[in-house]
Structure 1
Amino acid sequence: MTTTVGSPAGAARRPGTTATAYPRYLAGRLGGAAVSLLAVLVTSFFLFRVLPGDPVKAMTRGVPTSAGQMATLRRQFGLDLPLWQQFTDYCAKALTGDLGTSYQFRAPVGELIADKLPATLLLTGVAVVLYSAVGLWLGTRSAWRHGGLGDKLNTGVALTLWSVPSFWLGLLLIIVFSVGVGPVPGLFPTGGMESGDETGPAYVLDVAHHMVLPVLTLVAVGYAQTLLVMRASLLDEMGGDYLTTARAKGLRDDLVRRRHAVPNALLPTVTMIFINLGHVAAGSILVETVFSWPGLGGLFYQALSVPDLPLVQGLFVVFAGAMIVMNLLADLLYPLLDPRVGR
């Protein structure tokens, strides 16, 4: 049997059509991530050079310092070098994992970040898991029963919370549940991660007690976004012919939703969840500052107040790098959710 080039059989047998599609897709995404990381390095260096203030003057504020000592400090931190040389030195060190030395703490930036990272991962990691699960569940139910009382209530609450600044909500929770208002007593600590005098299981309970209000703040704001995105995605899928076919086959409504509609509506929500996972490294600067949480957010606020350029730059690279990596993982996961992607 002879197959013509333009026939379907010829197209099906054409070598390399699908075999090379995913590698090209993968190479494109990896290349894009590499370019983004390079852009982050450039941006992190020049962006924070426009901050007002002299780091050396800030470090020596309140301490009698001669002009010669000021010049020695600038030379020690490389601030006397031309800007282009500072940039090349910064990029060369950053590519080897050396993010420099903090001006105010006189310690390697990498060590400072590693010391504060567990607290941020604990706080924002728990919050992301909770609000992603709650948002997906409520968003699916709202879309599947759109127009009903539950949908209107969920959507209204979500829109309200999404528009509320997280720091304002955190302050409100402190006033109500930490300080106490009227008959409501102060139930939770006003800030910090621990009381400092507990060990063993009591220490775990103490940390959990301190986490309640900051986690509640992050969940209240974060679940709203997940709910609205999932609801919109599922509403787009609900008019599809494949759902009508599934119902015509006699499948129950719950099975149609779980096996057919929800998986096809997950792509936009997966992107958002992975972006939120990228935020786990950054934490929430405002929420950590409001609750005095000893994580990267508070460290970033301290670095900006000087400004501590190496520390600010290092944190910016870590925050942006986490976002780029999570976006890359989401892109690599797409073909598993939808085989049409990357083909």
Structure 2
Amino acid sequence: MSTESTSALAGDPGGAVAAPAAATPRGPRRRSGTGYLRYVAGKLLGAVVSLFAVLVTSFFLFRLIPGDPVKAMTGGKQVSQEQLDSMRREFGLDLPLWHQFTDYCGKALTGDLGTSYQFHTPVIDKIAEALPATLLLTGTAFVLYTALGVWLGSRGAWRHGRFGDRFHTAFALTLYSVPSFWLGLLLIIVLSVGIGPIPGMFPTGGMETGGKEGFAYFTDVAHHMVLPVLTLVAVEYARTLLVMRSSLLDEMGSDYLTTARAKGLRDDNVRRKHAVPNAMLPTVTLLFVNLGNTVAGAILVETVFSWPGLGGLFYQALSIPDLPLVQGLFFVFAAAVIVMNTLADLIYPLFDPRVGR
């Protein structure tokens, strides 16, 4: 009998029998599942903590704004001190700050964000009234700049160094550095007012002309949307393009792409089916954050174009200041971003199974 066989029969750890005895195929799966559950629990806990931090910040931050909201609501009229005190009692502004804070948190947990000072209606109703206009504007822009940015970014990275890649990258960097409100004003001057041989073709602001119904109403709204949507797409597609291009360039030298080409796959198939899905992880984060910002709207763009959405409402409330409305809008804006960012974290394992282990 050979030495190796004797060692194996004797139970020598170095023998051939030792390897099968140590195999535990189910252990790693259990650890992986537990690790993912911990990953999900950690992300959800972080989202809850972030929401509470936003709730606290939204209360104290806007109380640093100078000015008396009660006097602002009077519109500069002569009002007696007794009337001012009565208004402060009506809105609870005469209570100690800690009392106002506990009332605010308690009501917020039940979905009550307070009553607007200037509109005398629940804040949640004003948000629900302005939300469709914001979703229409920024949602349309989101679909357009996402498709354009991902497509141009992936094609530019795949053909990096060529004229098309250099041109689109330089153009995207230029647009990314341009303030959105400045670009909106420039588009109004050129395409709304008209300059030189270019006639004014689009409205300067608003969502509709009024007095139109049916198909004419939809075309009128679409006509008003052109410039604000173009402003949002021009700025945001540039950021999506740059992130997608950078992420795909990091994948270009990977071994799995060389293997896919060695199998005889066409270059376009290698890019679409192998390279782009693996390069989408950073872009997914950006897209989900942008999707959260869709609820927040574009405050500056909506203000420039007088769009009746959440952004314009926030600017209007901030000018008084209408504290309940400002706080409520700020909380909704931040909550949308936090929720979308958490969802992005939770779907990461679909793109990269290593995440969450």
- Sort the TM-score into its range (normalised by shorter chain): over 0.9
Equivalent-residue separation in structure 2 for 1:57 and 1:171 (angstroms):
33
- 5+ residue gaps, structure 1, are none
**Selected match of 2:58 from 14, 39, 44:** 44
**Selected match of 1:284 from 292, 298, 323:** 298
- Kindly state the Cα deviation for residue 82 of structure 1 after the two structures are TM-superposed: 0.7
User: Are residues 1:186 and 2:200 paired?
Assistant: yes
User: Are residues 1:256 and 2:294 paired?
Assistant: no
Q: Count residues with an aligned counterpart.
A: 342
Equivalent-residue separation in structure 1 for 2:274 and 2:254 (angstroms):
10
| CA contact 1:142–1:151 (8 Å) conserved in 2 | yes
**Counterpart position of 1:323:** 337
Equivalent-residue separation in structure 2 for 1:156 and 1:171 (angstroms):
22
Aligned counterparts, 1:45-124, within 5 A:
45-124=59-138
Equivalent-residue separation in structure 2 for 1:82 and 1:40 (angstroms):
21
- Kindly state the Cα deviation for residue 224 of structure 1 after the two structures are TM-superposed: 0.1
**Counterpart position of 2:139:** 125
User: Are residues 1:232 and 2:246 paired?
Assistant: yes
**Counterpart position of 1:27:** 41
Q: In percent, how many aligned pairs have the same letter?
A: 73
Give deviations 1:236-280, integer Å, cap 9, x for gaps. 011111111111111111111111110010000000000000011
User: Are residues 1:265 and 2:265 paired?
Assistant: no
User: Are residues 1:138 and 2:152 paired?
Assistant: yes
| CA contact 1:26–1:332 (8 Å) conserved in 2 | yes
**Selected match of 1:204 from 194, 218, 222:** 218
| CA contact 1:3–1:10 (8 Å) conserved in 2 | no
- Kindly state the Cα deviation for residue 19 of structure 1 after the two structures are TM-superposed: 2.5
| CA contact 1:289–1:301 (8 Å) conserved in 2 | yes
Equivalent-residue separation in structure 1 for 2:290 and 2:253 (angstroms):
29
Indicate the SS of the match to 2:198: coil
**Counterpart position of 2:9:** none
Give deviations 1:96-120, integer Å, cap 9, x for gaps. 0000001111111000000000000
| CA contact 1:5–1:11 (8 Å) conserved in 2 | no
Indicate the SS of the match to 1:146: coil
Q: Tell me which structure has the larger Cα radius of gyration.
A: 2
CA RMSD of aligned residues (A): 1.5
Equivalent-residue separation in structure 2 for 1:16 and 1:178 (angstroms):
63
User: Are residues 1:220 and 2:234 paired?
Assistant: yes
Equivalent-residue separation in structure 2 for 1:234 and 1:143 (angstroms):
6
Give deviations 1:7-62, integer Å, cap 9, x for gaps. 4x226545621232221111111101000000000000011010010000111132
- Kindly state the Cα deviation for residue 342 of structure 1 after the two structures are TM-superposed: 1.0
- Kindly state the Cα deviation for residue 4 of structure 1 after the two structures are TM-superposed: 7.0
- Kindly state the Cα deviation for residue 63 of structure 1 after the two structures are TM-superposed: 2.0
Give deviations 1:163-201, integer Å, cap 9, x for gaps. 000000000000111111111111000100001011001
Equivalent-residue separation in structure 1 for 2:291 and 2:91 (angstroms):
34
CA spacing shift, 1:73–1:265, aligned 2, 3 Å: same
Q: Provide the TM-score with structure 2 as the length reference.
A: 0.93
Indicate the SS of the match to 1:16: helix
Equivalent-residue separation in structure 2 for 1:6 and 1:38 (angstroms):
51
Amino acid at match of 1:293: W
**Selected match of 2:257 from 196, 220, 243:** 243
**Counterpart position of 2:352:** 338
Equivalent-residue separation in structure 1 for 2:156 and 2:32 (angstroms):
38
